[in-house]
Amino acid sequence: MQFRFDFARFDFEPWRAVLSVLVDGVELSRRLPFDQLVKSMISGRTKDAVSARSYRSLRAQFPTGPSLAMATPVEVERLIAHVTFPEVKAAHVVDAAKLVGQAWQDYDLTPLSGMPPQVRLEWLERLPGVGRKVAASTLNASTLRLPVYIVDTHVWRVIVRTGIVPANATPRDVSMFVTESMQDWDGETFTLFHVAVKRLGQTLCRDTKLLCHLCPLAADCATARARGGVRSVRLPPRARGPWRR
Please write the tens of the pLDDT for every residue from 118-133.
999 999 999 999 999 9
With 60 as the cut, is the pLDDT of residue 242 above it?
Answer: no
Q: What is the pLDDT of residue 234?
A: 47
Q: How confident is the model at residue 9 (pLDDT cuts 50, 70, 90)?
A: confident
Which amino acid, one-letter code, is at 161?
R
Q: How far apart are CA 2 and CA 175, in angstroms?
A: 14
Q: How far apart are CA 3 and CA 43, in angstroms?
A: 26
The answer to whether 68 touches 62, Cβ cutoff 8 Å, is yes
With 70 as the cut, is the pLDDT of residue 239 above it?
Answer: no
Q: How far apart are CA 99 and CA 146, in angstroms?
A: 22
How big is the chain by its Cα radius of gyration, in Å?
19
- Catalogue all structural domains in the chain, each as residue range(s) with its CATH number: 13-24+150-228 (1.10.1670.10), 33-140 (1.10.340.30)
Average pLDDT, the chain: 91
Its pTM stands at 0.91
Determine whether 82 is exposed, middle or buried from the number of CB atoms within 10 Å of its CB (0-12, 13-18, 19+).
middle
